[in-house]
Amino acid sequence: MKSTVANKILQKNKELYDQIAVQFSDTRNKIWPEFEYFKGYLANGQDLLDLGCGNARLLELLKDYKINYLGIDFSAKLINEARQDWPNFKFIVGDILDLNLKEKYDLVFLVATLHHIPSQKLREKVLLNVKSVLKPNGKLLMINWNLWQKRYLKYIIKYTLLKIAETEKATNGIKPEELDLQDVFIPWQKKHQRYIHAFTENNIASLLKKTGFEIIKNVSNSRNIITVAKIKEQTEKEKKKMAKMLTKI
């Protein structure tokens, strides 16, 4: 995917979530069953970073722990919703593609976030940014939608066929031929189109390996793909290779 296309998708994403923030927040106030996978990694006294936090519903899971929490989202209006619901926790409006944090964290969460990032290059950048803020024994806890199910498979088929056909029909100003394979737009409340990359478990495993992570858990159900990973111990040669990779993104 061209960087100009990726940037256009990111801008459309931001505009959309600012537009639907209140309604979206009202539909995102329950704990996902998949959060149960994370409980074994939680403890009092931890420093936790929630990237793409939205309205911070993850705090429904975390609220009973004595933690240092920071939530980051690019939507100012979603951050406003989070601050209203959780006034005792810290939130900032920020870009997970351009993290500028001095602190290191025990756990970094990417809940329904990475699949909204367009292009392999930018998804790699997000994970390299996560690495840069993890403590040595820190963990990445991630959930991505599993679109490989009956409810959503039609969108994968649709955009694959449109890409092959090289149709001029655009969604959010993006032509199918400009998308990567497994990229789709899925409607929200029949009015808006959201960009999503249809990950498989293998896709995620490959992405994590390339960016220097070691997988602890990578499983899926009919709704989501749940992943836990840590930074892989690297040789000096691997560290130099990874540093070079980061400068190119």
- In CATH, what number is assigned to the domain containing residue 11? 3.40.50.150
Residue 203: domain span: 3-248
User: Cα(106)–Cα(174) distance, rounded to whole angstroms?
Assistant: 38
The predicted pLDDT at position 92 comes to 97
Instruction: Provide the domain count of the chain.
Output: 1
Sheet of 47-51: strands edge to edge?
A: 90-93, 68-73, 47-51, 105-111, 134-145, 224-231, 213-220
For helices 120-133 and 3-26, what crossing angle results, to 10°? 70
User: Cα(54)–Cα(109) distance, rounded to whole angstroms?
Assistant: 12
The predicted pLDDT at position 235 comes to 67
CB 185 within 8 A of CB 197: no
User: Cα(2)–Cα(6) distance, rounded to whole angstroms?
Assistant: 6
Which of these, 105, 107, 127, lies nearest to 115 by C-alpha position? 127
pLDDT in tens, 179-193: 999 999 999 877 889
- Dihedral (CA of 15, 120, 141, 67) sign: negative
The predicted pLDDT at position 20 comes to 85
User: Cα(219)–Cα(204) distance, rounded to whole angstroms?
Assistant: 10
User: CA 199, 205, 211: angle at the middle one, nearest 5?
Assistant: 110
pTM to 2 decimal places:
0.92
> Mean pLDDT per segment of 10 residues, for the chain of length 249 residues?
96 89 69 93 98 95 96 95 96 96 98 97 98 97 97 95 86 92 90 94 98 98 97 74 67
Q: Decide the pairing of beta strands 105-111 and 134-145.
A: parallel
What backbone torsions phi and psi does residue 44 show, to the nearest 5 degrees?
Answer: -65, 150
Radius of gyration of the chain, Cα coordinates, nearest whole angstrom: 18
pLDDT in tens, 138-187: 999 999 999 999 999 999 999 999 988 888 788 889 999 999 999 999 99
User: Cα(52)–Cα(47) distance, rounded to whole angstroms?
Assistant: 17
The predicted pLDDT at position 26 comes to 66
Which of these, 43, 223, 233, 67, lies nearest to 145 by C-alpha position? 223
